[in-house]
Amino acid sequence: MNFADLIQIVWENLRAHRMRAVLTTIGIAIGIAGVIAVVAVGQGGQAVIISEIEKMGSSLYFDISPDYMRGETADSNTFSIEDPTIIKELSPAVDKMAAITLGPMVDVRLPNSDKNTIMASLYGTHPDLIHVLNLSIEKGRFITDLDVTSHSRVVVIDAGLAEDLFPKEDPLGKKIFVQDTPLTVVGVLEKAPSSMLDAFSVRMVYTPITQAQDMLNTRVINQLCGTAVSEEALPQAISDSIKILESRHSSVSKSYMGTTLEEQLEMVGKVTSILTTVIGAVAGIALLVGGVGVMNIMLVAVTERTREIGLLKALGARRRDIMQQFLGEAVALCLLGGLIGMIVGIGGAFAIALAAHWPPLISVWTVLLAIGFSVIIGLFFGLYPASRAASLSPAEALRHL
């Protein structure tokens, strides 16, 4: 039997059982679509998170925090406001450094308006932060040393918040209330080109660290972050910083840990790829179930058509001809399901990516793998029934009812 004949016969057979063929195809399509969409969304998300983190600073970035691996947390003795200045002076490896007192959720509102309170993250910090985090100012200025020493009631807001609070006006010089403390807006940051934080609506306000501590009524500094003079100096910068901190805070015997951007990226990469693998595995199980569906259909087809197989053998079909026909039907179902699943999966990945504002990362490999897998499922699950069908003696098969 040549290929064109085979295709025609397979097509005529499948068309005769349209409903059954369609349902089986859907089963496979769901599995394939799931795998492709999950992997694409997962990889896209991973890429976005990584680019977000990369945007936080250069490859020179590092931060020092209490050693939370050993269960330590920051208290008022862990860091002091002067630490960054002293570390910069003592360590030639450290270029810029700022301390951060974090108010993870503060209320921001316009004066005389109790409504429209916006939730934001408050960063109480030093002037160096703008360099450490690679931020840039769109209007006005960032925090200055004078602001820090004089507890100035000033605030720098991000572009999103400026949009929210002052859609039509220039925010510079205006008063806003942060945790019910009136602050003057002295600067607006440039809008970050990304998206992920916008999507989650996390707004940022930056104040002098001294002012933030007054507002939050705390002396706790959560972490120090800084940059090294060069990538080679990064380990030196971290170990110097930790040594200086340990000697300066020896009375409380704290231990510190330093993290580089690289390490953070690695961690995020690990977490997201584990997530992708897990969800991918679930989708893979869906695919497997679809495959068992194909095998079931093929078994039914073989049992139901045993007589027909006997007849085909009587007409001169060889074992190979019977195998080809049944395998052909199974592969056709899976391939069709695979193509539909591919289209739906890619479409789905694009739709999710569009909604979540991140680029869909559909790798050719995922698609090839999914299609290849569907064909293999067809071959694998078609093989057993087909081989069973082909090994019957024609008389035996013809006696079958």
Partner 1 sequence: MISVSGLTKVFGSGDAAVHALRGVDLEISEGDFVAVMGPSGSGKSTFLSILGCLERPSAGEYYLDGRDVNSLEDDELADLRNRKLGFVFQSFNLLPRHNVLRNVEMPLIYAGVPGDERRKRAQELLEQVGLGHRLTHKPAELSGGEQQRVAIARALANNPLVIFADEPTGNLDSKSSLEIMELFQKMHRAGRTIVMVTHEPDIAAYARRVIYFRDGKIVREEAKDELR
Give least dist CB 363 to partner 1, A: 40
- When asked if residue 364 is in the footprint of partner 1 (CB under 8 A), the reply is no
Instruction: Tell me which of 3, 4, 252, 253 binds partner 1, using CB under 8 A.
Output: 4
Q: Does 393 sit near partner 1 (CB under 8 A)?
A: yes
Give the separation between CA 62 and CA 13, rounded to whole angstroms.
66
3-state secondary structure of 54: helix
Contact flag: residue 285 with partner 1 (CB under 8 A): no
In this chain, which of 146, 274, 314, 376 binds partner 1, going by CB under 8 A?
Answer: 314
Indicate which single residue of 317, 353, 361, 371 sits in contact with partner 1 (rule: CB under 8 A).
Answer: 317
DSSP string of 198-248, one letter each residue? HHTT-EEEEEEHHHHHHHHT-----EEEEEESSSTTHHHHHHHHHHHHHHH
> Judged by CB under 8 A, which of 3, 12, 112, 364 binds partner 1?
12
C-alpha to C-alpha distance for 280 and 343, rounded to whole angstroms: 17
Contact region with partner 1 (CB under 8 A), list: 121-129, 176-184, 286-294, 392-400:
392-400
The letter for the amino acid at 305 is R
Q: How many residues bind partner 1 (CB under 8 A)?
A: 29
**Residue 10 vs 233, nearer CB to partner 1:** 10
> What number of other Cβ atoms are within 10 A of residue 181's Cβ?
16
Structure tokens at 142: 């960032």
Answer yes or no whether residue 19 interacts with partner 1 by CB under 8 A.
no
Q: How far is the CB of 272 from partner 1 (least distance, A)?
A: 49
CA gap 398, 401 in Å, rounded: 8
3-state secondary structure (DSSP) of residue 106: strand
Among 75, 107, 198, 308, binds partner 1 (CB under 8 A): 308
**Quick check: 125 binds partner 1 (CB under 8 A)?**
no
- With CA atoms as reference, report the closest residue to 257 among 65, 62, 60, 88: 65
Phi then psi for residue 299, to 5 deg, are: -65, -45
The verdict on 255 binding partner 1 (CB under 8 A) reads: no
Q: Is 368 in the site for partner 1 (CB under 8 A)?
A: no
In whole angstroms, the minimum distance from the beta carbon of 7 to partner 1 comes to 12
Dihedral sign of CA atoms 54, 57, 58, 64 in order: negative
Q: Which of 311, 343, 344, 379 binds partner 1 (CB under 8 A)?
A: 311
- Give the residues lining the site for partner 1 (CB under 8 A): 1-2, 4-5, 9, 12-13, 15-17, 307-308, 310-321, 393-396, 398
